[in-house]
């Protein structure tokens, strides 16, 4: 699996405006809908599903990173968005630090293996402090996509 398999072009935002957990989720989910990931009419349902997942336990994994995710019937395939917040957002992270880097995933309910592989792929790469730092400093969606493609190329 590669980032380019699920991060939708047009769903990368390097200037998140949201200042709350729900605001970030809303902003990233909206970018997925706008990029054609699911119908706009399903936006509130997707946001509700992600927020329900957050109630089970935070997806703020520490080091300024969060990976909010859910399964939802409106997704025909695994889709993802990336967001960067310069100031950071309180995401109730495991380390209690603000989050600057977000990967949001939505997948069909009938493809749990694909969902888990994407989460594993993301977390494997996010263990690389240099990669995370470059993503957090990326000043354009094009730069983020370039970094993700380069990360994909390093995978053997």
Cβ atoms of residues 88 and 99 within 8 Å: yes
125 carries an active-site annotation: no
- 23-39 exposure pattern, b = at least 16 Cβ within 10 A, e = fewer: ebbbbbbbbbbebebbe
The structure tokens listed for 21 are 């957990």
The enclosing H or E element of 106 equals: strand 99-107
Calculate Rg over the CA atoms of the chain. Answer: 14
Single out the catalytic residue among 69, 72, 115, 121.
Answer: 69
Active-site positions? 69
């Amino acid at each position: 699996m590669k980032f380019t398999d699920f991060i939708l072009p047009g769903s990368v935002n390097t200037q998140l405006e949201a200042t709350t957990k729900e605001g970030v989720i809303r902003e990233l989910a909206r970018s997925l809908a706008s990029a054609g990931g699911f119908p706009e009419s399903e936006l509130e349902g997707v946001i509700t599903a992600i927020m329900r997942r957050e109630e089970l336990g935070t997806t703020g994994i520490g080091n300024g990173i969060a990976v909010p995710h859910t399964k939802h019937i409106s997704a025909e395939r695994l889709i993802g968005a990336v967001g960067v917040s310069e100031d950071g957002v309180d995401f109730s992270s495991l380390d209690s630090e603000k989050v600057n880097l977000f990967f949001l995933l939505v997948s069909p309910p009938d493809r749990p293996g694909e969902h888990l592989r994407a989460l594993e792929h993301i977390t494997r790469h996010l263990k690389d402090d240099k990669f995370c730092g470059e993503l957090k400093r990326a000043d354009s969606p094009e730069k983020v996509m370039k970094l993700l493609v380069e990360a994909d190329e390093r995978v053997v």
